[in-house]
Every structure is written in C-alpha cells, then in structure tokens.
Chains A and B, each alone.
Chain A
Amino acid sequence: GQNIDQPTEMTATEGAIVQINCTYQTSGFNGLFWYQQHAGEAPTFLSYNVLDGLEEKGRFSSFLSRSKGYSYLLLKELQMKDSASYLCAPLNSNYQLIWGAGTKLIIKP
C-alpha cells in the first residue's frame, strides 16, 4: 500500500529552527512536494524535491533521501505566521500526489 508518516503536531518557539520529518512508501516515486496549509485555507506550495539532497529557499529548506523514503522540511527563524499545517506529498508512479495527514506546527512567542 501507500503510506505517509508525519508527526501529528509539533511546537516551537518564535525565532528558533524546527525540522518536520516525513517517511513515505509509494508505488513508484517521481518526486516529493511540501505544502503549507493555514487553518481553513487551501494548501500552498513550498518546495519540490526530485533528486537526493537539500533544496534551500529562503527560510525554508527541504531534504530528500529516495533510498530511505525520507524527507524533511526545515524552517528557520520561525515567525508567528509559520503556525500552520505542513503537508508532505510524494508523487507516485501514476503521477498522483499521495497526501499525508500533515503536521500541525504551533509557534509560541
């Protein structure tokens, strides 16, 4: 079957760094997306990894290890507006995104 595993909830402090892990099992693999979703809103694109390694984009970075079925999203210099759910979504062999339940990130002052 296809499965995504992410922590349900994480808490971090404003200004700190947090790493959100994602492990996945899919039928085939064509890359992995991370999306941010604020409560009551639609998901918005954060990053895409198709090769192993780290992709950096401002305060956000995403890492992929295809052999381990593992990815993480690293958020630096946390701001209150980063309080949201973060969705890990690998692309399977049929080019369908497989969605995890997401990690709810709570930022405290």
Chain B
Amino acid sequence: DGGITQSPKYLFRKEGQNVTLSCEQNLNHDAMYWYRQDPGQGLRLIYYSQIVNDFQKGDIAEGYSVSREKKESFPLTVTSAQKNPTAFYLCASSMVGDYYEQYFGPGTRLTVT
C-alpha cells in the first residue's frame, strides 16, 4: 500500500533538546511538506521541498531545519531555538506539475516541557 508514514505518533522532550521527526513516503511524489498545527488553528507551512537536495522555507521556518537526501524521506528537526515547539506536526507529499493534491501522514504530536 502506498502512503506516508510519520513516527512516532507521540513524542516527549525536555526543553533545550533538539528532536527529529521522521517522514517517509512511497507514493513516488516529488514534493514534500511540513506543517505545524496548533489547537483551533489552520495548517502553517514550515518547509517544503520539490526536488531532492533542495528545499524552501515556509511561513514559520525559524527554529526548524530539514534535509532531503532521498526522494522518499523528508525529516524535520525541531531545534532548541524554536520558542514554542509543542504542537501537532503533519508531513504531506504531492505530485508536481500536474495535480497538486496533498496526501498527509498521520502526524506526530510533540510535547516539550
């Protein structure tokens, strides 16, 4: 079955620690995205990548970093510089150039205390 996986579903960290969230897709999609969602809010774009070894900042990239070394994988690191890291993080992927529906992974709920 094709899809997007994110792990873990729940993650707990102490303040001051970096944490990396994984995102893997086997849909053969070129584009991948990371979003953050806070309670009662819409999705806010953190980073996106349309091709391997290239990525762009979204609206709220400060305190986050990404890499895109393989087409299938787009990990997100939440650094200690991110002021309010506790949130629901969603990874998505889409085709490029034809149809832009985004397919989402199940999400990771990160709690930093």
Contacts and interface: CB of A to CB of B under 8 A. Distances in A.
A99 B43 contact: yes
Contacts, number: 40
A107 interface: no
Interface residues of B, number: 20
Interface of B: 35, 40-45, 48, 88, 90, 96, 100-107, 109
A31 B100 contact: yes
Contact of B106 (A31, A33, A41, A48): A41
Interface in A13-43: 30-31, 33, 40-43
A78 interface: no
Interface of A: 4, 30-31, 33, 40-45, 48, 87, 91, 95-97, 99-102
B42 A87 contact: yes
A101 B88 CA distance: 14
Contacts of B48: 96
Contacts of B101: 33, 45, 48
Contact of B100 (A44, A95, A99): A95
The 6 closest A-B pairs by CB, nearest first: A42-B104, A101-B42, A99-B43, A99-B42, A42-B107, A43-B104
Contacts of A44: 104
